[in-house]
Structure 1
Amino acid sequence: MLPPLKALPVFEAVARLNSFSLAAQELNLSQSAVSHQIRALENHLGESLFHRQGRYLSLTSEGKHYRDAISSSLSQIAHASNLIRGESETKVRIAVYSSFAVCWLMPRLPDLMRLHPNLDISITMAHDSLELSDKTADCFITTDRDKRGFDFKHIYRERLFPVCSPAFYESMKNTLNLRSDKDIADLLKTHPERLGDFPLVTSFGIYNVYTEDWRRWFAETGNPLPDDLQLHKFSHLLLAYEAAKYSLGIGLINDYMFNEDRTKDDLIRLPTHHIETGDEFYFAYKYSRRNEPGIAEVKRWLINEAAELQPDD
């Protein structure tokens, strides 16, 4: 038996906004009308959907499951209705890790908007794991691919390589008494561990521990992490990028943060080896929503753009 259909968009709004009063404002209803619709839905289901503790509101476990189950259906109904009415605007919410959003996605958004002017894009950034749920976004750029009912398209295998600022690079050559780029390339080819002679920048975010990035890099040379390293520690890869750019030391960054054409005045990639982090990035969306025009357009564009992230070496 179908539930009271008028109550479903009311429930979705309350669950998303976590507030009866805000839902009432959004839906242009009185708060008592919102409460009435929620009670009718709970009576029909025979379950409480919200915990009510004074002014605080939260979803019960049954409420969370119900929200996740109906959100995509409501979205598809709204989309189908818009098509019938001839509305061409397509809203797409994308959730993405902050460093990927700032360094790779944002510079390319003007191109996406030029190719698809009908899209109404909103971006949500996350520092840690992304919750794959309609209440968070319509599609995701994530390293997680363990979510039932979702489709995942591979876009990038992460690797880290050493970089420094042009000024720092020149000071390295002077310190090592080297005259040319070839000299420093020859040295680092045979003795990459010489990077440990200089200050290094480490970030917490990749491995959730400081210095693990450089420990793995030095392990590739057959050497342990030197005991006498001068290290500058930063919580996030974005901060490590900025620290290297401002000559605090040599940092380890990845492909989506580095583009030789755009950052040639900011950072120089040092001629030595890289390491792979083991993280794979995916474009994710609910399989049931795969044919929605907005998601389909973003997917095609993103996969095409991400082809440059697949390194040759």
Structure 2
Amino acid sequence: MLPPLKALPVFESVARLNSFSRAAAELNVSQSAVSHQIRALEDYLGESLFQRQGRYLTLTQEGKNYLDAISSSLSHIARASNQIRGEEDTKIRIAVYSSFAVCWLMPRLSDLQHKHPNLDITITMTHGAPELSDKTADCFITTDQEKRGFESTLLYQETLFPVCSHAFYQEIKNTLNLTSEELKEQLKSKPELLEGFPLITSFGIYNEYTEDWRSWFLERNSAIPSNVKFHKFSHLLLAYEAAKHSLGIALVNDYMFNEKDTNSPLVRIPTHHIHTNDHFFFSYKTSRRNETAIKEIKQWILNEASSLKAHT
């Protein structure tokens, strides 16, 4: 037997907005009508879906489980109904890592909006891998492609290379008494020249400080010298900012640096790079692969990612 169907979108709205009054405003009904529908649903299920603590409203564990179970179905019903009515949904939510959003996606958003002005885009930043779920977003840029019911298209494998500010690069040349060409030639055979300068390490990629530089030195069969001075930062974005402000040399990834950008605050140091174990994917629900908005976003991101691969 089906639950009171009118109550389901009301429940979803209250759970999403965390408020009876805001849900009432969104649904254009009275707050008492919202309360009545939630009460009817709770009576039918025999469980409390919300916990009220003064002015605060939270989902109970049963409420969370029920929301997870029905939200995808409600979205499917809404999209199918809109398609039948000839109304294409142009709203799309993209969940991406914070550094990817700030350094790669944000500078390109104007191009995306120019090419697809019909799209109403919401960007959600995540520190770790975003949860692949309709309640999180409609599509994802993630390193996690192992999720049943989702399609994932490879964008690229992550690459790390050393960068520093223009002023710090000049300091390197002055300290070593080399011209730009001489430094470039020497670094081909002696990348260890960099060990005499402060190095910036971040925790985020390898979940351990200095592991990024250990991998970089290991690429040339050498260990990190014991006398190296490190500046430690929890996130790659902070390491990027530290390099920009001349604290030292940082290892950043390919999507954070565009060699064609003449206004870049950083210089890529002419020496070797390393690959991390992370592969980035564009992911979305298989059942939604034919939606116009997702197809447009996917094609645009794949085109942009192909130019990224060409420069690494």
Same fold? TM cut 0.5: yes
- TM-score, length of structure 2 as denominator length: 0.91
Do the aligned partners of residues 53 and 149 (structure 1) sit closer, same or farther apart at CA in structure 2, a change above 3 Å counting? farther
Aligned to 2:253: 254
Distance across 1 between alignment mates of 2:155 and 2:263: 24
Shift of 1:85: 4.5
Distance across 1 between alignment mates of 2:209 and 2:269: 21
Distance across 1 between alignment mates of 2:190 and 2:275: 20
Percent identity over paired residues: 70
Query: Partner amino acid for 1:10?
Result: V
Greater Cα offset, 37-46 or 47-56: 47-56
Structure 2, unpaired ranges of 5+: none
Distance across 2 between alignment mates of 1:270 and 1:250: 9
Greater Cα offset, 253-262 or 232-241: 232-241
Q: Are the equivalent residues in 2 in contact too, given 1:256–1:309 (CA < 8 A)?
A: yes
Q: Are the equivalent residues in 1 in contact too, given 2:82–2:88 (CA < 8 A)?
A: yes
Query: Partner amino acid for 1:303?
Result: L
The alignment partner of 1:135 has SS state of: coil
Aligned to 1:168: 168
Query: Partner amino acid for 1:179?
Result: T
1:104-128: CA deviations, max 9, x gaps? 1111111111221110001111222
- TM-score, length of structure 1 as denominator length: 0.91
Do the aligned partners of residues 312 and 94 (structure 1) sit closer, same or farther apart at CA in structure 2, a change above 3 Å counting? closer
Q: Are the equivalent residues in 1 in contact too, given 2:157–2:279 (CA < 8 A)?
A: yes
Greater Cα offset, 114-123 or 139-148: 139-148
Do the aligned partners of residues 77 and 224 (structure 1) sit closer, same or farther apart at CA in structure 2, a change above 3 Å counting? same
Aligned to 1:143: 143
Q: Are the equivalent residues in 2 in contact too, given 1:11–1:38 (CA < 8 A)?
A: yes
Aligned to 1:193: 192
Distance across 2 between alignment mates of 1:60 and 1:308: 47
The alignment partner of 2:129 has SS state of: coil
The alignment partner of 1:207 has SS state of: coil
1:42-76: CA deviations, max 9, x gaps? 33344443344444433344433332333233223
Aligned to 2:299: 300
Aligned to 1:155: 155
Aligned-residue CA RMSD in angstroms?
2.1
Q: Are the equivalent residues in 2 in contact too, given 1:161–1:275 (CA < 8 A)?
A: yes
Query: Partner amino acid for 1:185?
Result: K
The alignment partner of 2:152 has SS state of: strand
Greater Cα offset, 86-95 or 148-157: 86-95
1:255-301: CA deviations, max 9, x gaps? 10111111554222112111222111111212222222211211121
